């Protein structure tokens, strides 16, 4: 299972903070197929990297039943 509640990721830029992922609530049960669609720059890849623990999260998330930090 992958589950997020109010998932957020903020990056620092020269002009100030940029919120790449802004409050995503998501729940995908084991065995489900899930499509993640959106325009370029919407935070799709960032969200998936957080879910598989490649990238640190700004706020809490759970993936496969455990906390991802």
- Tell the residue number behind the tokens 């039943």, with chain if given: 65
Residue 45 near residue 39 (C-beta atoms within 8 A):
no
Question: Which sign does the torsion angle of CA 55, 19, 6, 1 carry?
Answer: negative
The pLDDT assigned to 50 comes to 80
Query: Which pLDDT does position 56 carry in this prediction?
Result: 59
Each residue of 20-68: pLDDT tens digit? Answer: 888 888 888 889 998 889 999 888 888 888 877 755 555 556 666 666 6
> Which tokens sit at 23?
């409050």
> Is the entire prediction scored with pTM above 0.75?
no
Indicate the burial class of 2 (C-beta count within 10 angstroms; 0-12, 13-18, 19 or more). Answer: buried
């Amino acid at each position: 299972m992958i589950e997020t509640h109010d998932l957020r990721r903020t990056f620092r830029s020269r002009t100030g903070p940029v919120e790449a992922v802004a409050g995503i609530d998501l729940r995908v049960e084991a065995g489900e197929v899930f499509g993640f669609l959106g325009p370029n720059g919407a935070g799709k890849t960032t969200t998936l990297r957080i879910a598989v623990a490649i990238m640190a999260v700004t706020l809490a998330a759970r993936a496969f039943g455990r906390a991802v930090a």
